[in-house]
Amino acid sequence: MELKTLLLEKRSVILEKWFNLILESYPPDASGFLRSQRNQFTNPVGNTILKGTEGLFDKLLGEMDSDSEEAVSLFLDNIIRIKAIQDFTPSQAISFIFDLKKVIREELKNENSGVESRISGELLKLESRIDELALESFDIYMKCREKIYDLRAKEFQDKTFRLLQMANLISDPELRSEEDHGSVLKGKDNNLKPEK
């Protein structure tokens, strides 16, 4: 329990450092805006990250004195969904989870050795829980990416269906693939006449 008390005391410092660390992955010209603009509608990225980190942190602390694991997926999802469509590699997109470990370690390093040894067991447990979250983050990231591919394919199908249907072209093998970056819709060879 001692660790939880400590972390609760340092909650605002930890959260602030964690938030700032995440924002450092953005270009300096952007991170200032993401950090300071607190309107959830005009700065949805900054605010989603802010609320996400607070939510994750509180849930993790909540778990510490209960046996059940709290549902943290939503907070993870909200943050990762954003990073998955921005200019990040997969590892960059989920690295923010590890930032939390870093910040907690740093915050605890000034505690005296007595405290340190008493909390080490709890800390280890917390850290492996954070590792688990990282694994979950990979899954969420993959789901977001799959969704993007899905949308690309689906958009094309939806757009084409009615047109092909009415042009009696539904069984036409000419249905183009995405690589052929043309489109039946845009009149690829303008083959839109009924076959007969």
Tell me which residues touch other proteins (CB under 8 A).
24-31, 33-34, 37, 39-45, 48, 81-82, 85-87, 91-92, 95, 98-99, 101-102, 131, 134, 144, 147-148, 151-152, 154-156, 158-159, 161-163, 165-167, 178, 181-183, 185-187, 190, 192-194
Q: From the CB of 114, what's the least distance to other proteins, in Å? A: 27
Q: From the CB of 28, what's the least distance to other proteins, in Å? A: 6
Q: From the CB of 65, what's the least distance to other proteins, in Å? A: 25
- Residue with tokens 């390093």, as numbered in its chain: 109
Output 114 or 194, the one with its CB closest to other proteins: 194
Quote the CA–CA distance of 176 and 44 in Å, as a whole number: 37
Quote the CA–CA distance of 142 and 29 in Å, as a whole number: 29
Quote the CA–CA distance of 38 and 57 in Å, as a whole number: 20
Q: From the CB of 144, what's the least distance to other proteins, in Å? A: 8
Q: From the CB of 5, what's the least distance to other proteins, in Å? A: 25
Quote the CA–CA distance of 123 and 183 in Å, as a whole number: 56
Output 41 or 66, the one with its CB closest to other proteins: 41
- Residue with tokens 């994750």, as numbered in its chain: 56
Output 91 or 117, the one with its CB closest to other proteins: 91
- Residue with tokens 């953005």, as numbered in its chain: 26
Tell me the CA distances in angstroms from 90 to 21, 52, 81, 142, one per residue in order: 17, 19, 12, 9
